[in-house]
A = this chain, B = another copy of it.
Amino acid sequence: MSTLHLVRKSAFTTNDFAQCLSVLDQQDSVVLMDDGCYNLKHPLMDSLIKRSESTISINVISNHAKARAIETLAAIQHIEMNDVVELTFTHNKVITWQ
């Protein structure tokens, strides 16, 4: 019963990312896209990375991060849109946090 979480908002501006993290399950995956890419530098990301040492996969859409000149972290997978499409079907459902 894994969920794919599409995070589209900056945690520096809204609390959508915090809400996402509060319901995140161990088998889930997170994709940072659009302004969600800014969250790579947010304090909430540290706690997520520590948790994710278990099983949660954290991804960022390369072009979305690059467009915003955001350096990314080693713990984060760089993916493209076709990976997002694939993740849509390897997880049981999708929640968009926007």
Within 8 A of B (CB), among A8-51: 12-15
* Main SS class of interface, A: loop
- Give the chain B neighbours of A12 by CB distance below 8 A: 15
Bound complex: CA of A12 vs CA of B14, how far in Å?
8
Q: Closest CB of chain B to A44's CB: distance in Å? A: 14
Q: Closest CB of chain B to A14's CB: distance in Å? A: 5
Complex: chain B residue closest to A14, CB-CB: B14
- Give the chain B neighbours of A15 by CB distance below 8 A: 12-14
Which residues from chain A sit less than 8 Å from chain B, CB to CB?
12-15
Top 5 A-B pairs, shortest CB-CB distance: A14-B14, A13-B15, A13-B14, A12-B15, A14-B15
